[in-house]
């Protein structure tokens, strides 16, 4: 039996995402999900490099890997909050750690997504928090003097 096609929503053109995760496999998975939403992605595979990129770039949202149960990604969340309190930060984890979840939310994360959730949860957060960039299109006006602009009766 055929399953119905899933309805796709419009991508967010041009949102800039900084993705920081020391786990290479998770970094590539999340990168694919975020690019699928239509955002540009800059990746870092170390938290210290991510902190450097954070303050030197203009990003619309930060996605940071939790790390281990010790929550190594906390430094990025704290740094982003100190740098710009309005900058949304999403924490992704391979496994739900309730203590890390509570700490992330107290530190200002907009959400905490743990696998085995699909990329759908990451997509939802990006769509909710990344600003929608409007593509500027020049107004289409006749440029030829041979085209008259008569009012329509």
Q: Can you give the residue range of the structural domain that contains 34?
A: 16-129
Q: Which parts of the chain fold into alpha helices (H)?
A: 24-37, 47-56, 74-83, 98-106, 119-129
Q: Tell whether 149 is covered by a domain.
A: no
Tokens representing residue 146 in the block: 């041979």
Ordered per-residue pLDDT tens for the chain, 153 residues: 444 444 444 445 568 999 999 999 999 999 999 999 999 999 999 999 999 999 887 899 999 999 999 999 999 999 999 999 899 999 999 999 999 999 999 999 999 999 766 799 999 999 888 775 443 333 333 444 444 444 444
Closest CA to 34 of 135, 114, 129: 129
Q: Tell whether 64 is covered by a domain.
A: yes
- Integer CA distances (angstroms), 119 to 5, 25, 36, 73, 85, in order: 17, 14, 10, 20, 26
What whole-number distance in Å separates Cα of residue 123 and Cα of residue 36? 8
**What does pTM read for this prediction?**
0.77
Q: Tell whether 9 is covered by a domain.
A: no
pLDDT tens-digit map of 52-87: 999 887 899 999 999 999 999 999 999 999 999 899
What whole-number distance in Å separates Cα of residue 52 and Cα of residue 93? 22
Q: Tell whether 140 is covered by a domain.
A: no
Q: What is the mean pLDDT of the chain?
A: 81
Into how many domains does the chain fold?
1
The CATH number for 97's domain is 3.40.50.2300
Closest CA to 114 of 93, 99, 87: 93
Q: Tell whether 7 is covered by a domain.
A: no
């Amino acid at each position: 039996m055929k399953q119905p096609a899933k309805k796709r929503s419009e991508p967010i053109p041009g949102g800039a995402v900084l993705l920081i995760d020391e786990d290479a496999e998770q970094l590539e998975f999340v990168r694919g999900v975020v690019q699928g939403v239509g955002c540009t992605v800059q990746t870092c595979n170390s938290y210290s490099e991510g902190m450097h990129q954070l303050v030197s770039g203009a990003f619309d949202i930060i996605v940071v890997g939790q790390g281990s149960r010790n929550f190594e990604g906390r430094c990025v969340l704290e740094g982003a909050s100190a740098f710009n309190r309005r900058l949304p930060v999403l924490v992704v984890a391979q496994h739900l750690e309730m203590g890390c979840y509570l700490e992330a939310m107290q530190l200002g994360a907009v959400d905490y997504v743990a696998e085995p959730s699909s990329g759908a949860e990451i997509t939802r957060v990006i769509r909710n928090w990344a600003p929608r960039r409007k593509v500027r299109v020049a107004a289409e006006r006749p440029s030829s003097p041979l085209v008259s602009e008569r009012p329509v009766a």
